[in-house]
Amino acid sequence: MPLVWQEARITAAVPETPRVRRLTLAVGWGKPFRAGQHVDVRLTAPDGHQAQRSYSIASSPTRPETIDLLIERLADGEVSGFFADVAEPGDVIELRGPIGGAFVWDPAEGGPLLLVGGGSGVVPLLSMLRHRAEGAPDVPALLLTSARTPDDVIAREELMRRDAEEPNFQLRLVLTRVPGGRRIDADTVRAALAALGTPAHTFVCGSNPFVSAASDLLVEAGLPARTIRTERFGG
Amino acid sequence: MVTRGFTGRRPARPDAERLPPGQYLTEDFPVLQLGPTPKIDLARWRFTLREGAKPLKSWTWTEFEALPRTRWKGDIHCVTKWSKFDTAWEGVTFDDLLAAAGIEAPTAYLLAEGYDDYTTNVPVADLTGAKAMVATRYAGEPIPPDHGGPARLLVPHLYFWKSAKWVKGLRFTQKDEAGFWELHGYHMYGDPWREQRFTGD
Ligand SMILES: Cc1cc2nc3c(=O)[nH]c(=O)nc-3n(C[C@H](O)[C@H](O)[C@H](O)COP(=O)(O)OP(=O)(O)OC[C@H]3O[C@@H](n4cnc5c(N)ncnc54)[C@H](O)[C@@H]3O)c2cc1C
């Protein structure tokens, strides 16, 4: 089915962390989306100059009429800067999707599910976690996520609440820019695998360097490469 | 539709003319792939031309490195919207591969196959006439594993997902068969200048 450009209205825009803004968009999907998919947005200047970028959907597929995007402001970013500073509720954005058929998880695929996200790379994983909580709460899942400081953890309250309340979900936070901070390393990976058991599906998402490093660690820890799926945001 | 408040950042004019629609210029070399970077042992590396299941010709790494080599410099365009200018590659053109195998292309289509089980389809006409190569060097060095080393297909005039990484062979097919991304909704051909990103574009 062709992916057509549609107009989507921003219904809310709120700060998620100091560097990430959450935008809620009312979309008119022709078909439902799957957790892990993304949309393309297109912005047009008055002289016709256009910019397109991809953004993962953070919200659960069970609520398909509106989607949440979590957009991190990058220094000098052409599109992320617009979403950080200019976009407001009521604005209409051109968008098409859902896109992507490989980095997706459906409850029917089961688990255990290992989710590894660096920075805004947690966004598509959030959609999977939200979907799992509603549709397959028995599937064991562990989210290993890396952020600079506690304030930079996207959806921190929600993740901590899930960790406290959901019997089969575990959260592992790795903070890089705090005293004694660290990055995801062989020890963190080993501990996560020991806590979860061998995952049937592993999803790794974030910047290029993050995904390269994390997926190499997972392969070194013995996970078969074909059980690991990756999504790279660039940078 | 003009987006309220968006002014954007235009590339310099000569750059803009080299940028296909919807693309932006990057100085980095982003990486895109389905899964982890495969570890490939050159001692066991093989590159095979097949027709359907039937092998037509196969090379070891040493044999492949002895084939005639060609350099190519130019621009590449990824469907995720980045373009990179003046990239420099070296490898064996598709024409030279066929010549070395002593064959003519038996069909009009093929699937490039990667060590990661990735496949992507390309019409044979898009590979002949020095338009494409199996590259083994980038910027004068062996291609780094993240960018598809030891060898990747290079079809620079199509979106870069057609330039299969960690390529292990080319399989001629009777008709144009969808590869991995094409089965997931991406365009069968992928011309950046016509913005053929997805099925129906
Ligand atoms: C499938 C997919 C899903 C994505 N999902 C999200 C998402 O959910 N949330 C999100 O915030 N972003 C996401 N991205 C990244 C997003 O598409 C843009 O790349 C990002 O917002 C930067 O665009 P820009 O126009 O602001 O920056 P640009 O003007 O393009 O670039 C500004 C500078 O930042 C560098 N840069 C570009 N991208 C990155 C990056 N990701 N990290 C670090 N440096 C970078 C550039 O090299 C340049 O120096 C996703 C990307 C892909 C491919």
Neighbours of A233 (CB within 10 A): 24
Q: Which residue's alpha carbon is at the smallest distance from atom 45 of ligand 1?
A: A235
In a domain, A1, yes or no: no
Q: Which residue's alpha carbon is at the smallest distance from atom 28 of ligand 1?
A: A77
Q: A225 vs B38: CB contact, 8 Å cut-off? A: yes
Is residue A173 located within the same domain as residue A138?
yes
pLDDT at position B11: 87
Q: Could you report the per-residue pLDDT of B32-59, keeping only the tens digit for each?
A: 778 889 999 999 999 999 999 999 999 9
Is residue A146 located within the same domain as residue A207?
yes
% of chain B beyond a pLDDT of 90: 89
Nearest to A212 among B9, B37, B198 (CB): B37
Residues in chain B within 8 Å Cβ distance of A212: 31, 37, 146
Q: Which atom, in ligand 1's list, is nearest to the CA of A58?
A: 8
In a domain, A20, yes or no: yes
Q: For chain B, what are the domain ranges?
A: 45-194
Q: B8 vs A43: CB contact, 8 Å cut-off? A: yes
Find which of B1, B3, B146 to mutate to test the A interface (most A CBs within 10 Å of its CB).
B3
What is the Cα–Cα distance from B176 to B190, expressed in whole angstroms? 13
Is residue A111 located within the same domain as residue A226?
yes
A71 beta partners: A21
Task: Count up the domains in chain A and report the number.
Answer: 2
CATH number attached to the domain at B45-194: 3.90.420.10
Is residue A76 located within the same domain as residue A95?
yes
Nearest to B92, CA basis, from B101, B103, B80, B79: B101
- Among residues A43, A67, A99, the one where a domain terminates is A99
pLDDT at position B31: 81
Q: What angle in degrees, to the nearest 10, is found between the helix axes of A123-135 and A156-165?
A: 30
CA-nearest residue of chain B to A52? B22
SS3 B23: coil
**Does pLDDT of B29 surpass 90?**
no
**Does pLDDT of B156 surpass 80?**
yes
The domain that holds A38 is classified in CATH as: 2.40.30.10
pLDDT at position A232: 93
Is residue A88 located within the same domain as residue A115?
no
B127 beta partners: none
CA-nearest residue of chain B to A50? B22
In a domain, A28, yes or no: yes
Is residue A155 located within the same domain as residue A216?
yes
Is residue A222 located within the same domain as residue A127?
yes
- Nearest CA distance, A151 vs chain B (angstrom): 28
**Does pLDDT of B188 surpass 80?**
yes
Q: Could you report the per-residue pLDDT of A59-79, keeping only the tens digit for each?
A: 999 988 999 999 999 998 999
Q: B8 vs A49: CB contact, 8 Å cut-off? A: yes
- Among residues A99, A119, A150, the one where a domain terminates is A99
In a domain, A37, yes or no: yes
Is residue A87 located within the same domain as residue A118?
no
Question: Which residues touch A82 (CB under 8 Å, ≥6 apart)?
Answer: A43, B3, B5, B6, B8
Can you tell me the ipTM of this complex? 0.89
Q: Give chain A's residues under pLDDT 50.
A: none
Is residue A28 located within the same domain as residue A134?
no
Quick one: pLDDT band at residue B25, thresholds 50, 70, 90?
Answer: very high
Domain carrying residue A78:
6-99
Rounded average pLDDT over B88-111: 98
